[in-house]
Homo-oligomer: A and B are copies of this chain.
Amino acid sequence: MVRVTVWNEFRHERESDVVAEVYPDGIHAVVADAVAEAGHDIRTATLDEGPDHGLTESVLDDTDVLLWWGHAAHDEVRDEVVERVHDRVLDGTGFIALHSAHYSKIFKRLMGTSCSLKWREAAERERLWVVEPGHPIADGLGEYVELPETEMYGERFDVPAPDTLVFSSWFEGGEIFRSGCCYRRGSGNVFYFRPGHETYPIYHDEAVQQVLRNAVEWAAPGDGPDPAFGNADPIEEIDTDDDRTVH
């Protein structure tokens, strides 16, 4: 059982009738239900839940994997919370960035690049091809996942080359996109998953839900060593006298 926190900006759903119709209880509710089917321990948090946006140290203490959806209010996420989440990921907390979270402060912080891309809202068809069928995030899927109506994201996607590319998307309008990207940052597993625009019922799709569950299991932290950093005594016997140090 993985302890999962689903974080959502939760603004569109309260401000737009179109979005509210697709996600009446918020995108986080649908994502949480999808992940909960695998028997994990789920909680949610949203931007407007106080100064910590629901992500207090205590909540993060109880979080193995954090999913993140944001779009219009990235700038309202306080830098202190971004650094807090960043520290947790380096320490091993899994992080899953969903769709427009490519532009969230925390994802850009983890990538070190602009995370820019091309986009278009035309309710067009997307086909996510599995390019690594042996990867656990592809468990239970067919050769591709087809979504009838999506917002297009197109290359160039300005991210570091992923450690593993699991999905690559075809779009009706002529673009392609690296749409399922695995990274390790510190001891934390990071997964970017492209689909998820708020005006389309993407997170209601069964295959998309399967990917979310797979990604949570893949991103969950293990029990590896906790590295020691800083000044270190030698392990082998050596002469450590050196009066030239300026550290």
Residues of A whose CB lies within 8 Å of any CB of B are 12, 16, 18-19, 72, 90, 92, 109-114, 116-124, 127, 129-136, 138-143, 149, 152, 154-158, 160-161, 163-165, 168-176, 178, 183-189, 198-200, 221-236, 238-242, 244-247
Known: A90-B113, A174-B234. 20 other contacts (CB 8 A): A12-B246, A109-B112, A120-B232, A122-B241, A122-B242, A127-B176, A130-B225, A131-B157, A131-B178, A132-B161, A133-B224, A134-B184, A134-B221, A141-B225, A142-B225, A143-B225, A143-B228, A161-B184, A199-B245, A200-B244
CB distance from A165 to the nearest CB of B (A): 7
Return chain B residues, CB-CB under 8 Å to A155.
Answer: 129-131, 143, 168, 227
Say whether chain A's binding surface is mostly helix, strand, loop, or mixed.
loop
- In the bound complex, residues from chain B placing their C-beta under 8 Å from that of A149 are 242
A235→B131 contact, CB < 8 A: no
**B161, A18: Cβ atoms closer than 8 Å:** no
Chain B residues with Cβ under 8 A from A143's Cβ? 155-156, 225, 227-228
Copies held by the complex = 4
Q: Rank and list the top 8 A-B pairs by shortest CB-CB distance, nearest first.
A: A173-B234, A174-B235, A134-B187, A156-B227, A112-B112, A138-B224, A116-B229, A199-B244
Q: Is the CB of B165 within 8 A of A238?
A: no
The answer on a CB contact under 8 Å between B141 and A232 is no
- Among B173, B224, B235, B239, contact of A135 (Cβ-Cβ < 8 Å): B224
What B residues does A174 contact at CB under 8 A? 127, 170, 234-236
Given A114-B186, A185-B160, A246-B119 contact (CB < 8 Å): no
The reply to whether B139 and A222 contact each other, CB–CB distance below 8 Å, is yes
Q: Inside 8 A of A138's CB, which chain B residues have their CB?
A: 222, 224-225
List 17 A-B pairs, Cβ < 8 Å: A92-B134, A112-B185, A118-B228, A119-B231, A121-B242, A121-B244, A123-B242, A127-B174, A133-B225, A134-B184, A141-B224, A143-B228, A154-B232, A158-B186, A172-B234, A174-B235, A175-B232
Residues from chain B with a CB closer than 8 A to the CB of A189 are 134
With the chains together, A173 CA to B174 CA distance in Å? 11
